[in-house]
Amino acid sequence: MAITDTAFEIADGVYRCGSDRVNWYLIEEDDALTVVDTGFPTHWQQLLDRLDALGYELANVDACLLTHAHPDHIGFAERLREFEDIPVWLHAAGRRRARAGGDPPLGGLVKNLWRPAVLRYFVEVVQSDGTSIPPVTAVETVADGDELDVPGHPRVIHVPGHTEGDVAFYLPDRDALLCGDALATVDFETWQGNRPQLLPPWLNVDHAQARASLDRFESLGDVVLLPGHGDPWTGRLTETIRAEQIRS
């Protein structure tokens, strides 16, 4: 699938990477970088290209943070950890899934393959080596409320529901919220629209919990929302939270 090839600064010192369907990000601070999520294994070359375009190399990467341990978010994490000695951070509740190489919601995926957008997504998974993710065998753990001493100094917000261990990373000084799959800005079933929304129930381990977790975003005010899937979106999430509660 098409991988965008120019570095794209989407918020202050935050760069969007990945493909048309899967996002991961680089956060820059004082010539050091944090990688947030790692797409598919085949996105490795894009990491090298992006670093090069920004005038950096792997030695400038201090940390890798994972919003959760699904295959489309942990693709090259083990490569960073094992071969480049870059620590990988994840919520403790995501460890098992990371060791299992992602453990995707295959049943729901198969049932929804009749939807053209889901089928296209699945084709990308296969073409991007997303069916054989190297297990992430050792991680540092993050917990709700942590303020991480890594580039960008993100604050950890635990938002379980999509998986047990989903976290969002909030950058207070840049008003950026890297929300993983707690919210997408596109309808996963049709790949239409551009507004924050929950993923469909068949992609969430506990949909009601995913909805309840949105309350954690209520107090953040205006944010640049940077999701795992879909384009960036700027605004206040209050209405999104209300709309999702009404849909229940």
Q: Which residues pair with 89 in a beta bridge?
A: 65, 140
Nearest to 22 by CA among 166, 194, 181: 181
In whole angstroms, the minimum distance from the beta carbon of 73 to Zn ion comes to 6
**Which one, 28 or 181, has the nearer CB to Zn ion?**
181
Q: Which is nearer to Zn ion, 70 or 81 (CB)?
A: 70
In Å, how far are 12, 34, 61, 72, 170 from 30, measured between CA atoms?
Answer: 13, 11, 11, 29, 18
User: Minimum distance from CB of 72 to Zn ion (Å)?
Assistant: 6
From the CB of 55, what's the least distance to Zn ion, in Å?
A: 32
Residues binding Zn ion (CB under 5 A): 70, 181
**Other CB atoms within 10 A of residue 176 CB:** 25
Least separation in angstroms between residue 56's CB and Zn ion is 27
Give the sign of the dihedral formed by CA 162, CA 165, CA 170, CA 171.
negative
- By Cβ distance, which residue is nearest to Zn ion? 70
Edge-to-edge strands, sheet with 14-18: 8-11, 14-18, 23-29, 32-36, 61-65, 88-91, 140-142
Q: Which is nearer to Zn ion, 73 or 174 (CB)?
A: 73
Q: In the complex with Zn ion, which residue's Cβ is closer, 50 or 70?
A: 70
